[in-house]
Structure 1
Amino acid sequence: MKSELTLSIRQILKFIIIFLIVDFLFGSISKKIFYEQKTGKFYRSTYAIKEAKEDILIFGSSHAHRHYVPEVMEKELLKTCYNVGAEGQQLLFHAAFQKMILKRRVPELIVLNIDENFLYKSNAAYNRLSDLHPYYSEFKNELRSFLSLNSSFMDFKLFFKSYQTNSTLIHAIRYYISPQIDYKGYRPLDGVMTLNKVAFYEKDNSEKEYIQEIDPVFVAAFKDFILTAKKNNIKLVFVTSPNLIERSISENESFKMIKVISKLEKIPFFDFLNSPAYINQYDLFHDPSHLNDNGARIFTKSVAELINVID
């Protein structure tokens, strides 16, 4: 019995050692491939964290990524600019991402494009934090509190190197085969909207990403984003992007709270959400909530002019 137990323990230890070696090798190779990407969302994130030296950084979801043209911002403000907007990402990601970037360099100005539902509960907001897994080894202090929100075993999971990058290889291969071109982080949308296209989008019954209930964790992340900027003496500006079709926001508790917090913290807030200059301007939109390149350039110029006024 004693010899059998000893043999079993040895076999278990051998398995663990082999597993850890394989994990280390696979994880190291995956990490190397990850950091060698030249295009795509992870390349843009890595650039912002590791290399960006621009004076102005644009944060936000797809409404930031697709609506702010650094070239226009630079021309108007005479400062360098990079768009770090990340499609689909919400406040938790932006608050964590901000801390990672500031560990290396502090920009002069951060523009955060606000989505009106940012403070509403969203499982997707927690799940999409997995995009930060590859950076965990280097940014544990910045990321632990955010990533642990989605799993109490996050430290254990991210101990394994292969887990950190297991969802990134497909992206790396995809963008190696078909590079995703951007212009200082900005990716333009083409085409124009029509009435027929609006009808198509209105028929889209896809599940909403949020529940109309305030998430206190998101409120804390929003306040933390503001506090972090202030501690680092960074000018902060909030903006909402325009829509093609006017939205009723009078009962949107998330948007109301965002505006109250912004006012209390004395953060300039430029609200284009239902701007008459964009409502029903089909030639400026790619879809009902995203501007095409022409619309993005006009919008960026408007935002830059407002920033010039407050400066």
Structure 2
Amino acid sequence: MLDYSYTSIYLKSSNRNKIEYVYNSQPQNYDVVILGSSRANNHFVSEMFEQKGLKTYNYGMSGGHLFEASLMLKLMLERNYKIKNIILETDLNLSNEHQAEGVAARYLPYFHVSETVRKHFEKESDFKELYYIPFYRYIKYETRIGFREVFFGLINKKSKLLDHGGYYSLGNKKGNMKNDISTLKPLKNKYYEEIKQLCRQHNINLIAVMTPMCENTKGMNYFDKVKKSYPEIHNYENTVIEDKYFSSCGHMNDAGARMFTAKIIEDFFNKQSNIQTSF
């Protein structure tokens, strides 16, 4: 009964996070959809695309991997979204094929009602426990999908994550301004390949990009390795470099994000004839 009650609330809530926002939505038409991790969520200013007459939403999710980005796209297509262009942040997240548990957990309320969600998780090591033991997923991930979130969903309390077209701006307060990515290696990532295949099948123009990092990052040749493995991914890691435009080494502040977004719009959207499929 608890499992049924919690799930029923999630099936009516659409104000708490981007996953339920999509799952419980009607078909949408977008000129631009943005997918990726926090390096998408914090770096692409939806408002600036809208000012160009492009209906846009930033579905980037902080802490997310390509595992979750691929599933987000599958849900959109399941919901009959019409999408012209997808901007996919594809850089550090290429280095793993794992789920990001804190983000992936937000898909679990839909385990028994969505074949798309179930199939995406089928090969995960804990799939059987989460799927077959009633209420187990709500206990295991109580901080993500437990009582607090269910209560807020019940009273229809809106989250700030859905404001500003999904873009979440960071301030000027400095976090860690050093980073070392020298041990990372880009994989032939199956979830990136899934996204490319889905875009081909649905005639969506995919624009895969690497986003900036601060000057004090060690191992910046990682981006060269990505370019070598995937020549179609556009390398923008050095578009914004000064520390004053960063909130932490891997995340730009609002000023940096606006400078970066302006460059993306200039390169890909100022002339519709310049938009080309990048896979």
User: TM-score, normalised to structure 1's length?
Assistant: 0.71
Answering whether residue 236 of structure 2 is matched by residue 272 of structure 1, we say yes
Contact 1:31 1:134 in 2 (8 A): yes
Higher helix proportion, which one? Answer: 1
Residue 70 of structure 1 aligns to which amino acid in structure 2? S
1:228 aligned counterpart, secondary structure: helix
Contact 2:111 2:117 in 1 (8 A): yes
- Amino acid across the alignment from 1:235: N
Correspondence for 1:3: none
- Of 154-163 and 56-65, more deviation after overlay is shown by 154-163
Partner of 1:55: 31
User: In structure 2, how many angstroms separate the alpha carbons of the residues matched to 1:83 and 1:134?
Assistant: 22
The equivalent residue for 1:137 is 112
Whether the 8 Å CA contact 1:111–1:238 is kept in 2: the answer is yes
Q: Of residues 66, 77, 88 in structure 1, which corresponds to 2:42?
A: 66
Give the structure 2 partner of residue 171 of structure 1.
149
Kindly state the Cα deviation for residue 163 of structure 1 after the two structures are TM-superposed. Answer: 3.3
Instruction: Tell me the number of residue pairs that the alignment of Structure 1 and Structure 2 aligns.
Output: 261
Task: Tell whether the 8 Å contact from 2:31 to 2:55 is kept in structure 1 after alignment.
Answer: yes
Q: What does the per-residue CA deviation read over 1:142-189, in whole Å, with 9 as the maximum and x for residues that have no partner?
A: 2344313322x6245313452344430233447879853221211221
Q: Partner of 1:287 in structure 2?
A: 248
Find the residue that maps to 1:86 and give its secondary structure: coil
Q: Distance in 2 between matches of 1:250 and 1:191?
A: 24
Q: Give the number of the structure whose alpha-carbon radius of gyration is greater.
A: 1
Tell me the CA shift for residue 128 of structure 1.
4.7
The one-letter code of the counterpart of 2:21 is Y
Deviations 1:39-60 (A, max 9, x none): 443xx21223342433321000
Matching residue of 1:222: 192
Q: Is 1:298 aligned with 2:271? A: no
Kept after mapping to 2: 8 A contact 1:60/1:90? yes
Q: Which residue of 1 aligns with 2:159?
A: 180
Distance 1:301 1:189, change over 3 A: same
Q: Which amino acid aligns with 2:235?
A: D
Counterpart in 1 of 2:227? 259
Q: Give the whole-Å Cα distance in 2 for the aligned partners of 1:98 and 1:83.
A: 12
Q: After TM superposition, list the pairs within 5 Å mapping 1:21-170 onto structure 2.
A: 25-37=1-13, 39-41=15-17, 44-51=18-25, 52-76=28-52, 78-104=53-79, 105-115=81-91, 117-121=92-96, 125=100, 128-140=103-115, 142-151=116-125, 154-155=127-128, 157-166=130-139, 167=141, 168-169=145-146, 170=148
Q: Which residue of 1 aligns with 2:212?
A: 242
Secondary structure of 1:47 counterpart:
helix
> Normalising by the residue count of structure 2, what TM-score does the alignment of the two structures yield?
0.79
Q: Cα–Cα, structure 1 residues 286 and 221, in superposed 2: closer, same or farther, change >3 Å?
A: same
Matches of 1:57 and 1:91, distance apart in 2: 15
Amino acid at match of 1:232: H
- Cα deviation, residue 244, structure 1: 2.4
Name the SS for the 1:245 alignment partner. Answer: coil
